[in-house]
Structure 1
């Protein structure tokens, strides 16, 4: 069985350590698992129900929904801004949770991981993302966690894929997400 995981990164910065963590996940995906790193979150406008009408949905939001529709599972990479989830990641969750009753997350496992400069690695933001995802209909894998603290120092000269400890933990996360596909009850 082939598994498709859609990766969403909550930072738009080119040198983002969360983006690097997502790139590492793409490289670490085992045979039979494909991780697609969605590249268009910067173009997705803030969710507005007035835009979310037949024939009026912005192309970037359509592309996000189409990518989500192809996915069997999701892996979100969340930095922490002011102690919470980033606007870009929350916006993606909002677009994918609509239209009401047709969430792209329904029946699909989702894990939230990330890295941040602080000593806790972004756990508050990751918890907020899990909360929003659960409300949006996702099957949140609450026990599948990875919070890497001190990103600015830890990844100053080393890409996460070359950090043996982080790469090993990230590979475990991917394996858990992959194993959860097909075990989730599509309510």
Structure 2
């Protein structure tokens, strides 16, 4: 079996589970862009609002363009980094809806075998930890391979510097470690598929 190519560039697809333009979880994805391993690049998926509600009757087709776009974005990426807020002690409905669409069709879903990590930011002391636990469970059930997280960012309105990076050096290092592990998981996956 060929060994994975650590020099191969990795595409990290970032998904923020909030529709707010000024979301702290969008800021967390931007902060992740500063901590990527050498050769990796972050692409942010930004069409959650365009996805229709998941409907099994709609699976027969035609595929909604936004659903096709989501599936294509996930398929084109090496790994998935999901930043979730916490709404009512869980992940937001729009994010769960996207994961439901990405988990289908059964047997050939875009999420199947995709390395994924959960991070999250919130204004309170938990840093969306409960939502991240739920997110990791949903990702695993949807066929993704949990390869990092949770990584909670509490007091998120004060967590980012003017340069967009996390202010806490320990949390910044933890984010960099998570991204290295996530990209390494993509290398292991591509080596196993070869």
Tell me the TM-score normalized by structure 2.
0.86
- Check conservation: 1:26, 1:37, Cα contact below 8 A: no
1:96 to 96, 102, 106: 102
Query: What secondary structure is seen at the aligned counterpart in 2 of 1:60?
Result: helix
- How many Å separate the matches in 1 of 2:87 and 2:64? 26
- How many Å separate the matches in 2 of 1:79 and 1:117? 9
Q: What's 2:4 paired with?
A: none
1:57 deviates by 1.4
Matched, 1:161 2:165: yes
**Please, which runs of 5 or more residues in structure 1 have no aligned partner?**
none
Q: What's 1:9 paired with?
A: 16
Query: Measured at CA, do residues 62 and 28 of structure 1 come closer, stay the same or move farther in structure 2, by a change above 3 Å?
Result: same
1:38 to 37, 45, 56: 45
Instruction: Report the number of matched residues.
Output: 183
Please report the RMSD computed on the Cα atoms of aligned residues, expressed in angstroms.
1.9
1:47-126 equivalences in 2 (<5 Å): 47-54=54-61, 56-126=62-132
1:34 deviates by 1.5
1:121 deviates by 0.7
- How many Å separate the matches in 1 of 2:162 and 2:39? 27
- Check conservation: 1:145, 1:173, Cα contact below 8 A: no
